[in-house]
Amino acid sequence: MITKVKANKSFRGTTKYVLEKEKAKIIGGNMYGKSTNELVEQFTLSAHLNPQLKDPCYHLMLSVPKNDRTLNDDELANLSQRHFANIIVLSRLQGDESQVKQPGKRISDTKLKQLVNEFIDTELPAYDFFIARHSDKEHDHTHIVASRVNNLDGKSIRTWNNYAHSEHSARLLEREFKLTPVQSSWESKRKAMTRNQLERVESLGLPGEEIMRRAIEEVAVNKPTMPQLIERLWREHQIKALVSYYSHGGVRGIKFGIDVGSVNEDGSPRLLWKQGGNLNKYKCSFAKLQTELGINYNPKRDDSEIKRLNNFLESVANNQVNQQVITKRLPVKTQNILENKTNIYLAKSDTEQPANSQLINAISDFISQSVVKSFLSETLPQLTEQLSQYQQQLSQARTTFNEVLAAILEKEQQLLLQKTVDTISGFIEESVVESSLSETLPELTEQLSQYNQQLSGGKTTFDDLEAAIIYLKQLQKSQITVDANALNKAQTITTPKPKLTPNQTAELYKYYSSDLHNLLVTDRDKEIAKKALLDNKPAQEVEEIILASPAGWTQDEARALVLIANSNLVSEPDELEVLLKEEQLLSQEFLAMAVPIAVDLINWQLKESGENSLRFKRATLEKQDKELVFTHDERGEIFRVSVNRNSSGELEYSPINVGSIEKEDIQLWSEAECVLQQIISSAEQKERRQNKGISL
């Protein structure tokens, strides 16, 4: 199961999100309300018992994978209630029993189950909570919304280490309810999913990366050879595994690809590709597949087969349903013989192998051929019987084919008859059209003569018009300035428009001033002009609307107000553009400050402890090759930059990804810079003391 747990301030926002989703329904809990308002009212009364608590709302999510059995409402409500109780009981433990990540120290499952049963019977009713089921996706999941405040004593549920408690509770419930077991993040040496990843799982199901990880772990259980791993990943899970080689023949690495439904520009399927080290750095690189998962790899034995599989997987279509067997299948006995042959060959010393390899190959080939021959003898009767059945089916299909053929011939005869009828009909129509043309041809000839005369007259008019256009162009080129008032008068003369009636202008003024009563009359009329212009009203109509103002503007004053409003509209910057520019400036300011500090911190960490990661409060800074990555627990990756030093020794960096940056990040790095300066100062003082001691 996949779990999620979070404490926040808003009962209303959380309850609204959980209850007002499509196909959401309450299946458990101890609250009397059914609507958002009723539940929030009860939650608020509970929160008032502990007003110092900043995050009184507790939100837990449980998701059962879609390939698991479907739980009914009662089962899912019981499972969710026990999950909530498990987390509360685990949060109260102290000492070694609270170390859920260490099997040798943590509380035993039996004792924990006993404590949880007692808690459900005696204390759970003191906490307000409800359980809702969501069925809007292919997999069902539940949301538990609760108050962290105990209604009897006003104490709150501790949230320390609640992610680990949530994962440990899920493992217990998987065994108790006989669901598919999943390793916790600390058991699989894999980091837990971020909140963004968990939300994607809640809405879309498991991501492609997680599907590939689980498939690799499943196939690797029996410790196969490297070619067997590659073949089974494709044949059983439709996952491509491609091995790349250096020019000198050594293995460079391995990458995995899966079809997640995305397409290229031409409409063809596009795979999600992940390098083994990036997919799961603890297990899925080519080296870790061998050391961590026990995959058997021998270059002399496996490289030629791996390259053949590479060619096959590169040629097969991404969306092709795998009905092919990648390798030639021999009987089980033959495969055992070949495996024994390999083991014998590997067991020999280097001096014995050249002398015995030919003999071993000859013997194994003879035995393989004998086994294949025996296998064919056993299966021949079955093949003969199947062939007889196929012949019967072929005979039946032949009869059906003859019937279809007769129907086609009959249809062709009908089509031929219809074609003949259409030909005769067409001939008749042509005759009618010819007769009609003979009658109307004199009239058409006369009309054509008239059109020619009109065209001749139009030619003369066109020539005159062309000369006028040339004159106007010359006049336009020679004209330097145009009087604005004269232009307005010309427009008024050439494009007269009916004026608005006094009632219409009054109504429009009232409409545009509906939410501007608090402004002074001048500011109000400017805003009214802006609104009208934004509604694509002509400037003349806007002037008439302004004349309806109680301020009693003159015509010139109204025109001036309209011009001011229009000028303000043109000069106003686009809000989105300003926002984007501010975000860009914030990102540049943040990176310019944070990257040098991050480089110094990582260098100090590597120098002191040799570790390439540094843990902040709710964030992590780590070095990946020549990249620095800063990740927030809740917001994911904040920045990823590539860092180098130029020939002058100056630090240079280039952003690869910049996430959501907030002002608190700048504050964090300012504090980090202070801490770094203290570290450097302390180290310098220590060095000076040591040097002083040496000189004495």
**Contact status, residue 285 vs residue 276, Cβ threshold 8 Å:** yes
Q: Give dist(CA 334, CA 350) in Å, integer.
A: 26
Rg (CA), the chain: 41
- pLDDT at residue 210 in the model: 81
Q: Give the pLDDT of residue 380.
A: 63
Read off the pLDDT of residues 294-323 as tens digits, 9 standing for 90 and up: 899 999 999 999 999 999 998 886 555 444
In which region does residue 61 sit, left (phi positive, over 0), alpha (psi from -120 to 50) or beta (all else)? beta
Q: What pLDDT score was predicted for residue 320?
A: 52
- Give pLDDT, residue 90: 95
Q: Is residue 327 within 8 Å of residue 231, measured between CB atoms?
A: yes
Average pLDDT, the chain: 77
122 and 238 both lie in a single domain: no
- 145 and 85 part of one domain: yes
Mean pLDDT value across residues 67-86: 90
- CB-based contact 646:652 (threshold 8 Å): yes
Query: pLDDT tens digit string along 42-64?
Result: 999 999 999 999 999 999 999 88
Residue 256 in any domain: the answer is yes
Closest listed residue to residue 170, CA positions, set 93, 87, 237 = 87
Of 204, 236, 251, the residue that ends a domain is: 204
Quick check: 327 pLDDT over 50? no
* pLDDT band of 13, cuts 50, 70, 90: very high
> How many residues can be counted in the chain?
696
Q: Is 501 found in the same domain as 623?
A: no
- Flag whether 585 is in a domain: yes
Residue 388 lies in a domain: no
**Contact at 8 Å (CB) between 84 and 144?**
yes
Q: Examine the domain organization and report whether 10 and 123 are in the same domain.
A: yes
Query: Does the pLDDT at position 462 exceed 70?
Result: no
Q: Residue 440: CA atoms inside 13 Å, Cβ hemisphere, count?
A: 9
Are 118 and 27 members of one domain?
Answer: yes
- Write down the H helix ranges in 205-328: 208-219, 226-237, 276-279, 286-291, 299-315
* Nearest alpha-carbon partner for 360 in 374, 346, 381, 370: 346
482-491, 586-595, 635-644: which has the highest mean pLDDT? 635-644
Query: What pLDDT, in 10s, does the model give residues 144-167?
Result: 999 999 999 999 999 988 999 999
Q: Quote the pLDDT of residue 195.
A: 56
Domain harbouring 167, CATH code: 3.30.930
Per-residue pLDDT, averaged over 451-478, amounts to 53
Q: Return d(Cα 383, Cα 395) in angstroms, integer.
A: 18
Q: Is the pLDDT of residue 456 over 70?
A: no
The pLDDT tens digits for 328-343 are 334 444 445 444 544 5
For the chain, report the end-to-end CA distance as a whole number of angstroms: 67
Angstrom distance (rounded) from CA 8 to CA 13 = 10
Do 52 and 111 belong together in one domain?
yes
Q: Is the same domain home to 654 and 525? A: no
Of 151, 172, 204, the residue at which a domain comes to its end is 204
- 173 and 53, same structural domain? yes
One-letter amino acid at 76 equals L
Claim to verify: residue 169 and residue 223 sit in the same structural domain: no
More confident residue, 438 or 655: 655
List, for residues 513-535, the tens digit of each pLDDT value. Answer: 888 877 877 888 888 988 888 88
Residues 27 and 137 in one domain: yes
Q: Judge whether 115 lies within some domain.
A: yes
Quote the pLDDT of residue 680.
Answer: 77
Give residue 21's domain range: 2-204
- The band of 495, judged by pLDDT with boundaries at 50, 70 and 90, is very low
Residue 488 pLDDT greater than 70, yes or no: no
The span from the CA of 429 to the CA of 421, in Å, is 12
Whether 555 and 581 map to the same domain: the answer is no
- The last residue of one of the domains, among 157, 178, 204, is 204
- Give the C-alpha separation, 34 to 199, whole Å: 25
Residue 417 lies in a domain: no
Domain count, the chain: 4
385 occurs within a structural domain:
no
Same domain, 160 and 79: yes
Helix or strand or coil: residue 653?
strand
Split at pLDDT 50, 70, 90, the class of 198 is low
Neighbours of 573 (CB within 10 A): 8
Question: What are the tens digits of pLDDT across the range 108-144?
Answer: 999 999 999 999 999 999 999 999 998 865 567 899 9
Q: How high is the pLDDT of residue 451?
A: 61
Q: Per-residue pLDDT for 442 more than 80?
A: no
- Please indicate, yes or no, if residue 215 is contained in any of the structural domains: yes
Paired tokens of 248: 């000198």
Provide the 10 A C-beta neighbour count for residue 438: 9
Report whether pLDDT(421) > 60. no
Residue-wise pLDDT tens digits, 233-265: 999 989 999 999 999 989 999 999 988 777 776
Q: Is the pLDDT of residue 695 over 90?
A: no
What is the arithmetic mean of pLDDT over 270-275?
86
